[in-house]
Amino acid sequence: MEITFEEKIFENRKRKPDEFSEIARELRRDVIKSLFLAQSGHSGGSLGTADIFAVLFFGGYLRYDPKNPKWEERDRFVLSAGHICPILYSTLARAGFFPVSELATLRKLGSRLQGHPALDTNLPGIETSAGSLGQGVSIAVGMALSDKYLDKNNRRVFVLTGDGELQEGSTWEAAMSAGNFKLDNLCWIVDNNDCQIDGRVRDVMSIYPLDKKFEAFKFEVITIDGHNYQEIMDAFDKFIESHNKGIGKPTVIIAKTIMGYPISFMKDNYEWHGIPPNEEQAIISLRELQ
């Protein structure tokens, strides 16, 4: 007997935290392989956020149907940090939106898997183009606004930004709007690895204290270890409860992550923000991800 969509979501919800580690390892292996084949792209953030992607997409939190990507009642996921799309592509492929074999075309001419998500490639599962930092989160706020006040539907909007991305002024306008308009259907995840393209976020231009800033913008603030599955699950559960109760506040999950995690020679090194592994590094990485 075929299981229904709702049953599948419920089954996913029952996953134990440990079950995510194999999923995340698979996603990270895909990231390494596709970046190696492309010989360009962003390793650090893609690897560092894999645990969050595993829980969000495979834990029954994000509602989607890969067989019907435009399903009216789906939640939306916006990758505002568009440069870390290798992890989004692996996730979408493993979730069944398109063949896993297509991951080998990352950044190739004519591929649907461009270096930043692009709507005009018609890749299933992509909700918006992104890559110009700050833009995606503003689009996500617009989506949440129209869902809550125009369509009055039950959809949730999840958006992921980097922390260096928060040095882009427009992100704070998005935060101010989300708080002001009481967008309790918006879950903003910050990949807080304290690394960006040129160094430590705190050295280049500090964005801290992040929790106090989001509180001032009227957010429900949850700070977690972004590699701890139980904490990630609890944070999404709390957001969903807030949405169901209609608390009138957006949620931000400040996820403390480690860039390049868990690869020994990439971990917490901002120089891995935007480079791919060479052959030797890819072999070592895949060995470490066994």
Residues 6+ away with beta carbon under 8 Å from 110: none
Tell me which residue of 76, 63, 154 sits closest to 119, measured CA to CA.
76
- The nearer residue to ligand TPP, 99 or 169, going by C-beta atoms, is 169
- The nearer residue to ligand TPP, 198 or 241, going by C-beta atoms, is 198
**Side chain identity at residue 238, one-letter code:** K
Residue with tokens 């990352």: 106
Q: Residue 184 Cβ, how far from ligand TPP at the closest point, in Å?
A: 25
- The nearer residue to ligand TPP, 184 or 191, going by C-beta atoms, is 191
DSSP letter assigned to residue 49: T
Tell me which residue of 68, 58, 77 sits closest to 11, measured CA to CA.
58
Residues 6+ away with beta carbon under 8 Å from 265: 281, 284
Residue with tokens 């890819």: 282
Q: Residue 28 Cβ, how far from ligand TPP at the closest point, in Å?
A: 15
Q: Residue 47 Cβ, how far from ligand TPP at the closest point, in Å?
A: 10
Q: Residue 190 Cβ, how far from ligand TPP at the closest point, in Å?
A: 9
Q: Residue 213 Cβ, how far from ligand TPP at the closest point, in Å?
A: 16
Q: Residue 38 Cβ, how far from ligand TPP at the closest point, in Å?
A: 16
In 50-132, DSSP assigns E strands to 76-79
**Alpha carbon distance 73, 196 (integer Å):** 35
- CA R_g for the chain: 18
Q: Which residue is nearest to ligand TPP (CB)?
A: 162
- The nearer residue to ligand TPP, 187 or 207, going by C-beta atoms, is 207
- String of b and e for 85-118 (b: at least 16 CB within 10 Å)? bbbbbbbbbbbebbeeebbbbbbeeebbbbbbbb
- The nearer residue to ligand TPP, 146 or 170, going by C-beta atoms, is 170
- The nearer residue to ligand TPP, 87 or 233, going by C-beta atoms, is 87
User: Which parts of this chain interact with ligand TPP (CB under 6 A)?
Assistant: 42, 44-45, 81, 83-84, 131-134, 162-165, 168, 191, 193, 195-197, 201, 259, 273
- The nearer residue to ligand TPP, 162 or 250, going by C-beta atoms, is 162
Q: Residue 161 Cβ, how far from ligand TPP at the closest point, in Å?
A: 7
